[in-house]
A and B are shown apart, each in its own frame.
Chain A
Amino acid sequence: KNQVEQSPQSLIILEGKNCTLQCNYTVSPFSNLRWYKQDTGRGPVSLTIMTFSENTKSNGRYTATLDADTKQSSLHITASQLSDSASYICVVSDRGSTLGRLYFGRGTQLTVWP
């Protein structure tokens, strides 16, 4: 069964600290993996998208890694800011059909305290 599991479910850190969010997936065949940031009450916004051949991609203070062999990804946030408080969603796309079906994780709720 194709699934995307994220951990931890929630995380609280102090402003300025770093943190790492995890994503494990069983989606096959794999096409790409995306990380989205979703502020409370808003729509998700894309942070990174990685294909099979990419093992790291950065977007400012956000760095995503991908290990396609172990089917794991992580999102590292450096020097956190209050505005980083949000849900971070891992999404995996398969290439088994023209639909490019997407599998969503439940997200990690990050809270950054001053």
Chain B
Amino acid sequence: EADIYQTPRYLVIGTGKKITLECSQTMGHDKMYWYQQDPGMELHLIHYSYGVNSTEKGDLSSESTVSRIRTEHFPLTLESARPSHTSQYLCASSGSAGGELFFGEGSRLTVL
């Protein structure tokens, strides 16, 4: 069973609010990822990190930002949420590039 946790699981907020989605893993993985998933659509990579103080943008342009101050923690922040940010956000980690990916349960964000 994967030891990767996301909070909150569900979040409903108003436009313009700042939000942070938390992601933590206890597997000691260097590689962590954030994906965005809309209903019936494929997962899109929005951010990834290969270690502490290393973050990169993914394939899908996103107004969110991430940080990696500790190996186990990879939070995602939206400074000013908009309805277009409504989506499911999935955090994942891997022990190696291209290796098995372990996902968290996801954070369902709704922006009104």
Contact = CB atoms under 8 A, between A and B. Distances in A.
Interface residues of B, number: 23
A98 B97 contact: yes
Nearest to A90: B42
A41 B108 contact: yes
Interface of B: 2, 6, 40-45, 48, 90, 92, 96-106, 108
Contacts of A95: 98
Interface residues of A, number: 26
Interface of A: 4, 31-32, 34, 36, 41-46, 49, 89, 91, 93, 95, 98-102, 104-107, 109
A104 B101 CA distance: 12
Given A43-B103, A45-B103, A100 B43 contact: no
Nearest to B98: A100
Contact of A43 (B41, B48, B90): B90
Contacts of A49: 100
